[in-house]
Amino acid sequence: MTSNPPAKDKIILPLDVPDAAAAVRLVTQVAEVIRFYKVGLELFTRCGPSVIEQVRAAADGSEPCRIFLDLKLHDIPNTVARAVRNAASLGVDMLTVHLAGGGAMIRAAASEAPENLLLLGVTVLTSSDAGTLRETGVSDDVETQVMRLARLGVDHGLRGVVASPLEVVALRARFGDRLKIVTPGVRPAWATGGGDDQRRVMTPGEAIRVGADYLVIGRPISGDPDPKAAARRIAEETAFVQPVSS
């Protein structure tokens, strides 16, 4: 049986905004509904580590918010290990490394991740498809490559992966509940318009049913005229959805 935390704990809102002020505004708007925020490359490279504390302060409430630091680390093993150590010192809850970095890099990263930091291996980006893989010399289909990289991550000490919702069923079948699965490429049916670069997508309810642990949902919330109302609608739609394996 896969875990089914409250909606506000399984929905992760990316703070894909240009600066800390915009991040604080967005967090302030949705903090009653969303308690998990993703800080990615755009915001982190603009503002540095201090933005994490600014987000926490903006989300101030009866319970602490959680931070997903999505840096997709991919470098030589020693460099990645030190970066994981530094990220852990910030008290973040999740951090990403690229599984394409190979076993030695993954092992080095895992060795520096404390128990309370969920180190996630990025498999194939949701903006990628079979054509993208061919451009980089991979002739297999997306699911085969995702499974190969997930196996590499598990074999070298990782407890979680990032994959599109379309690969969750295969991941659950192979790894069961010992692997946490974070899924970008999630958008509600009422927000299916274009405007982003994700190709492998699913609705929030569908993603939970197939076994996703956490849903990364960005533009349907942050791009809505009323982000709080959009977040609440998604939370309500997913509140009682259970994985099909339960």
Summarised one tens digit per residue, pLDDT across range 41-96 is 999 999 999 999 999 999 987 678 999 999 999 999 999 999 999 999 999 999 99
Is the backbone of residue 65 left (phi > 0), alpha (psi -120 to 50) or beta?
beta
Share of the chain above pLDDT 90, in %: 78
Q: How far apart are CA 122 and CA 149, in angstroms?
A: 8
Sign, CA dihedral 17-34-109-90, equals positive
Summarised one tens digit per residue, pLDDT across range 32-41 is 999 999 999 9
Q: Which domains does the chain have, with CATH numbers?
A: 7-238 (3.20.20.70)
Q: Which of 8, 10, 38, 72 is catalytic?
A: 72
What's the pLDDT at 185? 85
Asked if residue 1 has pLDDT above 50, the reply is no
72 carries an active-site annotation: yes
What's the pLDDT at 2? 43
pTM reported for the whole predicted model: 0.92
What's the pLDDT at 244? 81
Q: For residue 209, what are its two tokens?
A: 């049913």
Summarised one tens digit per residue, pLDDT across range 191-237 is 855 555 555 578 999 999 999 999 999 999 999 999 999 999 999 98
CB 177 within 8 A of CB 2: yes
Q: Give the mean model confidence (pLDDT) for residues 90-105.
A: 97
Lowest mean pLDDT among 15-19, 140-144, 240-244: 240-244
